[in-house]
Amino acid sequence: MTEHEITAQIVAATDLDALEAVRIALLGKSGSISALLKTLGGMTPEQRQAEGPRINGLRVAATDAIAARKAQLEGAALEARLATERLDMSLPAPATPRGSVHPVSQVMDELAEIFADMGFAVATGPEIEDQWHNFTALNMPETHPARAMHDTFYLEAAGGEEAKVLRTHTSPVQIRTMTSQAPPIRIIAPGRVYRSDSDATHTPMFHQIEGLVVDKGIHLGHLKWTLETFLKAFFERDDIVLRLRPSYFPFTEPSVEVDVGFSIEKGKRVLGGTGGWMELLGSGMVHPRVLRACGIDPDEYSGFAFGVGVDRLAMLKYGMDDLRAFFDGDNRWLKHYGFGALDVPTLSAGVGA
Predicted confidence at residue 53, as pLDDT, reads: 83
Predicted confidence at residue 320, as pLDDT, reads: 81
CA 245 from chain center: how many Å? 36
Predicted confidence at residue 324, as pLDDT, reads: 81
Nearest in space to 210 (alpha carbons), one of 190, 180, 232, 186? 190
What does DSSP say about strands 268-271 and 252-265: parallel, antiparallel, or unpaired? antiparallel
Rounded to two decimals, what is the model's pTM? 0.67
Give kind and range of the element (H or E) at residue 121.
Answer: strand 121-122
Phi, psi torsion values for 148, nearest 5 degrees: -80, -15
Tens-digit pLDDT string for the chain (353 aa): 677 788 888 888 888 888 888 888 888 888 888 888 888 778 888 888 888 888 888 888 888 888 888 898 898 888 888 888 887 778 787 777 778 888 899 899 999 999 999 999 999 999 999 989 999 999 987 877 767 666 788 888 877 788 888 999 999 999 999 999 999 999 999 999 998 776 666 678 889 999 999 999 999 999 999 999 999 999 888 889 999 999 999 999 999 999 999 888 877 778 888 888 989 999 999 999 999 999 999 999 999 999 999 988 888 888 887 778 888 888 888 888 888 877 777 766 666 65
Residue 288, judged by CB atoms within 10 A of its CB (0-12, 13-18, 19+), counts as middle
Predicted confidence at residue 15, as pLDDT, reads: 87
CA 31 from chain center: how many Å? 60
C-alpha dist (Å) from residue 69 to 17, 33, 280: 12, 18, 76
d(CA 352, CA 345): 6
